[in-house]
Amino acid sequence: MPQPTPRNDPLFTVTADALVAADFRPRTGHRPPGPYRRLLRVPGARAFTAGNLLARLPMGMFSVSAVVMIAGTRGSYALAGAVTATGLAATALVAPWTARLVDRHGQARIAVPATALAVLGSLALVLCVHLRAPAWTLFACYAATATTPNTGGMSRARWAYLLAGDDRALHTANSFEQAADELCFMLGPMLAAFLCGTFFPEAGTLAGAVLLLTGMLLFAAQRSTEPPVRRRARAASPLRAPGMPPLLAVCLAAGAVFGSLEVVTIAFADAQGHRTAAGAVLALQAAGSCAAGLLFGALPLTGPASARLPWCVAAMTALLLVPLLAASLTGSLVLLAGALLIAGMATAPTMVTTMTLVQRRTPEGRLNEGMTLAVTGLLAGIACGSASGGWVVDHLAPAAGFGVPATAAAVALTISLAHRLPAVRDRNSRPIH
């Protein structure tokens, strides 16, 4: 019986045909781009995002720099906390007015001179600290920085303009912006503590002023993505919009969490003899929030945002008990750092959900003002939290100070549960949540 040759073997023929038909080219480009890649492919998005991030980085530097600078030269965390609280309270009063001007006259026309005034205030603060001027001058100089524009709000307003009608993409954009905020709070305190500890106490504030002015100039130069000015808009104030007051109250309580946590963590690290490590410890809390924010933005969420908010705030409240227990029971800075990393994981989802609701309930033509009111609530809360945290540290103990952010989060939870609102309708009569 003749043996089959390779050429007349059916198995060989099938295999050879398969090899000829096979495509050995690299299989790249078949996977669709992720939500964040699609977001940054929007024309002009990368350019304005780069400038905004540079201008936003000092957001995490100024308060830490001021606390380290003032406490190091005057020997009082209570004074340092009171000075930063005064500046933040002044910002809470001035920022909505600045945002209203932005809505009426455009971002570039208002943000640049407002930033220049704020930078002059920071430079005056450095000069007064260096010359050991009276304490009242510190309050006056830090209050002069109140004209700092809401860079995050202006960036979110650009996304709302560019992504109008695409709620899924806007959710991703809001999550990206919250992650950017957390990134600035992660890198800012580290950079501030490094500069103040390595060079001289005023170095952090000086560097922050340079970054703020440079970034704002780059951001304002991107005119193609700037929302158009609606000079004749006669919409009602965002404060009168349905559901806005409870949201602003949640922002106030959340700000108290952030402000107190910052001052108390610095004081706790200083008590352990590791003041320069305070920035790195705070950065871990921001890192947890940043990672959670990016993951939250990539999730296909269902259901109304108003129903998600109480759950997010409840998670934040529960996780803030972890650093309180770590500081009180162990007194270890290393364990506290890990606890702050865990506690930060509920921050970004809470703020993303809150900002989404603020965007949807703000009347047309007043978006910068509405977003700034939310940030104003945060700043007012940060001011209260900074002062409260400094008082508890000076009169009780640094470890006891971690009870302040946990209490503030519990207040935010109470507000969100007491004022749960049904879905409302936007200006186009389309149901929103």
What is residue 20's predicted lDDT score, i.e. its pLDDT?
Answer: 40
Q: Is 23 within a domain?
A: no
Cβ–Cβ under 8 Å, residues 394 and 275: no
What is residue 216's predicted lDDT score, i.e. its pLDDT?
Answer: 94
What is residue 117's predicted lDDT score, i.e. its pLDDT?
Answer: 93
Q: Is 296 within a domain?
A: yes
Q: Is 11 within a domain?
A: no
What is the distance between the alpha carbons of residues 365 and 175, in angstroms, rounded to a whole number? 23
Q: Is 423 within a domain?
A: no
Convert 300-313 to b/e letters by CB count within 10 Å (16 or more is b).
Answer: ebeeebbebbbebb
The CATH number of residue 337's host domain is: 1.20.1250.20
What is the distance between the alpha carbons of residues 179 and 402, in angstroms, rounded to a whole number? 24
Q: Is 21 within a domain?
A: no
Q: Is 331 within a domain?
A: yes
Q: What is the mean pLDDT of each run of 10 residues along the chain (433 residues)?
A: 47 42 46 78 88 88 86 80 81 83 86 93 91 90 90 86 81 84 77 85 91 94 85 64 84 88 85 74 80 80 76 90 86 85 86 84 77 81 83 84 89 83 42 39
Can you count the helices (H) and strands (E) in the chain? 18, 0
φ/ψ region of 393 (left if φ > 0, alpha if ψ in -120 to 50, else beta) reads alpha
The total number of structural domains in the chain stands at 1
What is residue 389's predicted lDDT score, i.e. its pLDDT?
Answer: 86
What is the distance between the alpha carbons of residues 397 and 147, in angstroms, rounded to a whole number? 35
Main-chain phi, psi angles of 338, to 5 degrees: -65, -35
Determine the structural domain holding residue 290 and report its residue range: 34-227+237-418
What is residue 297's predicted lDDT score, i.e. its pLDDT?
Answer: 78
Q: Is 425 within a domain?
A: no
Could you tell me which residues come within 8 angstroms of residue 47 by beta carbon, excluding any fewer than 6 positions away? Answer: 222, 225
Q: Is 7 within a domain?
A: no
Query: What type of residue is 345?
Result: M
Coil, helix or strand for 432?
Answer: coil
